[in-house]
Amino acid sequence: MRVSSPIGDLPFEPTALHLHGRHVEVEGLMGAWPARVVVEPSDLPALLRMVRIPVAVGAAAVAGIALLAIRGRNHP
């Protein structure tokens, strides 16, 4: 992963994942500095908005493949 900042693009290397109550914390290293990302329940709507189109496309693809597989079994 990479993090863009005023001092440039830095690699972010995750080192640990923690659940603390109702939030998720990712610890890691950003360049030479320790860093952490905290995702709280209030962040979920924004995250879901970012992924809804790829998820919808993936779900449609899986449904299409399943439909073709079912049709294939019914027609020798």
pLDDT of residue 34: 93
How long a stretch of residues is the chain? 76
pLDDT of 72 higher than 90 = no
Indicate the residue type of 75: H
Is residue 3's pLDDT more than 90? no
3-state secondary structure of 40: coil
Structural element, H or E, at residue 55:
helix 44-74
- Identify which of 27, 53, 51 has the alpha carbon closest to the alpha carbon of residue 38: 27
pLDDT tens digit sequence for 24-68: 899 999 888 899 999 888 888 887 777 677 667 777 777 888 777
pLDDT class of 15 with cuts at 50, 70, 90: very high
